[in-house]
């Protein structure tokens, strides 16, 4: 039966998934191989059958995060034809990431990750760039359609969208979920939109 005899590849992914989940909910500091092993029903040393060391596992986690982020963008693109609506969707989906499993952001945007091997830093940066590029594509499409002012640097706009999410996520954590991320993100999005849109909502 296919669900018992797990393929090697699948096992690796299962472990990486568990690791990601731990980082997502408890932070990088509490990510021990023991904890990961427990989740997948393995003994700590068993991890080494699938990963050279902890570092390699972490890189795999970053890979998974990248997948999710890009999938997120893709889903947003397919949700609507309006690039502005797509951008809004990206932000809101990311916010949902924060609220549900609290998953993704603390891995890419966490300060924690950066005090690490140069290799992992590079990997995180690459993920960051991919994500930024994917979102930037939407911005450029919006500009092509004349929905966003031409004189805007797409990268700047993308960074500002990240700027909605990151501090909000942190505050959400700090307040144990009492800070209303969704509402804030909505407001901030409106504000940025108003400044960026060619036909400013409140212009004139």
Partner DNA sequence: GACCGTTGTGAACGTACAATCACAACGGAG
Partner DNA sequence: CTCCGTTGTGATTGTACGTTCACAACGGTC
Q: Could you say which of a copy of itself, DNA, none residue 125 binds, taking C-beta under 5 to 8 angstroms by partner kind?
A: a copy of itself
- Running DSSP on this structure, what letter comes out for residue 114? G
Q: What is the dihedral of CA 59, 63, 68, 74, to 10 degrees?
A: 150
106 counts as binding a copy of itself under rule CB under 8 A: yes
Q: How many residues line the site for a copy of itself (CB under 8 A)?
A: 45
80 counts as binding a copy of itself under rule CB under 8 A: no
In 17-173, where do the E strands start and end? none
Specify the length of the chain in residues.
204
Provide the minimum distance between the beta carbon of 46 and DNA in the complex, in angstroms, as a whole number. 4
Rounded Cα gap, residues 88 and 190, in angstroms:
9
20 counts as binding a copy of itself under rule CB under 8 A: no
30 counts as binding a copy of itself under rule CB under 8 A: yes
2: its two tokens: 């296919």
Provide the minimum distance between the beta carbon of 200 and a copy of itself in the complex, in angstroms, as a whole number. 7
| Residue 9, phi then psi, degrees to nearest 5 | -55, -45
User: Are the CB atoms for 83 and 141 separated by under 8 Å?
Assistant: yes
Provide the minimum distance between the beta carbon of 2 and a copy of itself in the complex, in angstroms, as a whole number. 38
Angle, helices 54-79/8-26, rounded to nearest 10 degrees: 80
- Running DSSP on this structure, what letter comes out for residue 100? T
User: Which one of 25, 26, 34, 167 is in contact with DNA (CB under 7 A)?
Assistant: 34
Question: Contact residues for a copy of itself (CB under 8 A)?
Answer: 26-30, 106, 109-112, 114-115, 121, 124-125, 128, 152-153, 156-157, 159-160, 162-164, 166-168, 170-171, 173-175, 184, 187-188, 191-192, 194-196, 200, 202-204
Question: Contact residues for DNA (CB under 7 A)?
Answer: 5-6, 8, 11, 30-34, 41-50, 53-55
């Amino acid at each position: 039966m296919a669900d018992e005899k797990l393929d090697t590849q699948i096992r690796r992914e299962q472990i990486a998934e568990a690791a990601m989940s731990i980082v997502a909910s408890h932070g990088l500091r509490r990510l021990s191989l023991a904890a990961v092993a427990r989740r997948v029903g393995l003994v700590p040393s068993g991890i080494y059958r699938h990963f050279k060391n902890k570092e390699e596992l972490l890189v795999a986690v970053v890979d998974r995060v990248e997948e999710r982020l890009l999938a997120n963008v893709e889903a947003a693109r397919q949700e609507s034809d309006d690039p502005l609506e797509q951008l809004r969707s990206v932000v809101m989906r990311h916010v949902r990431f924060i609220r549900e499993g609290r998953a993704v952001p603390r891995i890419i945007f966490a300060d924690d990750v950066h005090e690490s091997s140069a290799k992992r830093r590079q990997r995180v940066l690459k993920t960051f760039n991919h994500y930024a590029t994917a979102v930037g594509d939407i911005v450029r499409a919006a500009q092509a359609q004349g929905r966003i002012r031409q004189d805007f640097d797409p990268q700047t706009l993308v960074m500002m969208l990240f700027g909605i999410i990151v501090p909000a996520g942190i505050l959400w954590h700090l307040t144990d979920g009492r800070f209303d991320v969704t509402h804030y993100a909505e407001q901030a999005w409106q504000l940025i939109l108003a400044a960026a849109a060619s036909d400013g909502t409140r212009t004139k």
